[in-house]
Amino acid sequence: MKRVAIAGATGAVGTEMLKTLEKRNFPVSSLKLLASERSVGRKLVFKGKEIAVELLRPEAFDDVDIVLSSTSGTLSKQFSPAAVERGAVVVDNTSAFRMDPKVPLVVPEVNPEDIKWHNGIIANPNCSTIIANVPLFPIYKKFGLKRFVSCTYQAVSGAGAWGIEELREQTKAYLAGEPIVKNKFPHQIAFNVFSHNSAIGPDGFNEEEAKMIRETRKIFHDNSIIISATCVRVPVFRAHTEALHCELGVKASPDEIREVLSTAPGVKIIDDVPNNHFPMPIESTEEYEVRVGRIREDYLFPNGIAMLISGDQLLKGAALNAVQIAELLLNL
């Protein structure tokens, strides 16, 4: 049994962490829910019991074994080391430590062995990275992977609970013929599509795209993979979708890809050509597996394979991946 704390417990990912701990029957002996001052006193339910939210502060990590953290990167840099100093292991869902060479970056279906060399912090990768890596890694192991291009269609909940609310309110206003109010997104999200709302670097790639490139190479332990990404925000509440165009190391037919993915952990094949039924965010919502379909030869590359994938970024892209890492810690 483990003493667990969730930092950022009232956010979109934090609440999913709470639900996932319960659903997977994680052995919790005690549970602390931590958040900012405005959420202190709010009560959340875990296994039928109400638990009051406490203030996120260093002393809150006393008597805690595992911290599931989904705060901001700034807060994580402040509080994760404090938790480690008090003897806890932190599974951090922010970008604060992902590219730190001393911190393992883990997708349990890909590199579970990396948790063995942690020094108190284990990083949860970016949601789009996780969702792509789950089906790509078994293909990489079997056929090799020289390069891939990812075009993402990212749900608003990837921005947090406020993203869901902004899409909901703008949709209501649009349908009622009322003025659209932009609060946090830079552009109207209702009935619109725009480039991912993260800063663009000097190379022209935004932060979300850069994360996918750097993180995949670290997780696969292979800097030779050539990766390009274009990340886009779409008016979908939940679950990200990605179009992947890959150059494999050797030739593989679509049927051979399906055969490999049919037994891959965390993957569900949805590839019903006669009925034009392929992965969709509406069907990926609240599901653990990454759905894969539209598997076909891609003439863009030698040994090319294209596919469409979709996964719940609040679950496999965040909360579920973190809890799976915590489950791995149970066996260390």
Domains defined along the chain, listed by start = 2-125+318-329 (3.40.50.720), 129-313 (3.30.360.10)
Q: What is the pLDDT of residue 127?
A: 96
Q: How far apart are CA 25 and CA 211, in angstroms?
A: 31
195 pLDDT more than 90: yes
Give the helix/strand (H/E) hosting 225: none
- DSSP letter, residue 7: E
Q: What is the pLDDT of residue 251?
A: 97
DSSP 3-state of 320:
helix
Nearest CA among 120, 238, 164, 19 for reference residue 6: 19
- DSSP letter, residue 95: S
- Those residues whose C-beta lies under 8 Å from the C-beta of residue 189, and which sit 6 or more positions away, are 156, 163, 166, 167, 170, 233, 235
255 pLDDT more than 90: yes
Name the pairing type of β-strands 49-55 and 66-69: unpaired
Nearest CA among 160, 307, 125 for reference residue 238: 160
Q: Give per-residue pLDDT as tens, 1-20.
A: 999 999 999 999 999 999 99
Q: Give per-residue pLDDT as tens, 130-160.
A: 999 999 999 999 999 999 999 999 999 999 8
Quickly state the pLDDT bin for 291 (edges 50, 70, 90): very high
Calculate the CA 147 to chain-centre distance.
21
Q: Is the distance from CB of 292 to CB of 271 less than 8 angstroms?
A: yes
The per-residue pLDDT of the chain, averaged, comes to 96
127 catalytic per annotation? yes
Q: Is the distance from CB of 139 to CB of 260 less than 8 angstroms?
A: yes
231 catalytic per annotation? no
Polymer length of the chain: 332
Q: Is the distance from CB of 68 to CB of 17 less than 8 angstroms?
A: yes
Q: How far apart are CA 103 and CA 118, in angstroms?
A: 6
Q: What is the pLDDT of residue 161?
A: 87
Quickly state the pLDDT bin for 268 (edges 50, 70, 90): very high
State the amino acid at position 281 in one-letter form: P
Q: How far apart are CA 92 and CA 82, in angstroms?
A: 13
Q: Give per-residue pLDDT as tens, 196-226.
A: 999 999 999 999 999 999 999 999 999 999 9
Q: For the chain, give the percent of residues with pLDDT over 70.
A: 100
Q: How far apart are CA 284 and CA 290, in angstroms?
A: 7
- Considering the candidates 118, 196, 231, 240, report the single residue annotated as catalytic: 240
State the CB neighbour count (10 A cutoff) for residue 280: 16
pTM, whole model, 2 decimals?
Answer: 0.95
Nearest CA among 199, 156, 163 for reference residue 183: 163
- Considering the candidates 118, 127, 196, 246, report the single residue annotated as catalytic: 127
Tokens 């992947």 belong to residue: 244
Q: How far apart are CA 161 and CA 293, in angstroms?
A: 29
Q: Is the distance from CB of 308 to CB of 241 less than 8 angstroms?
A: yes
DSSP 3-state of 25:
coil
332 pLDDT more than 90: no
What's the CA angle centered on 246, arms 241 and 252, to 5 degrees?
120
CA distances from 234 to 2, 10, 193, 207, 238 (A): 39, 24, 5, 17, 10
Q: What is the pLDDT of residue 28?
A: 97
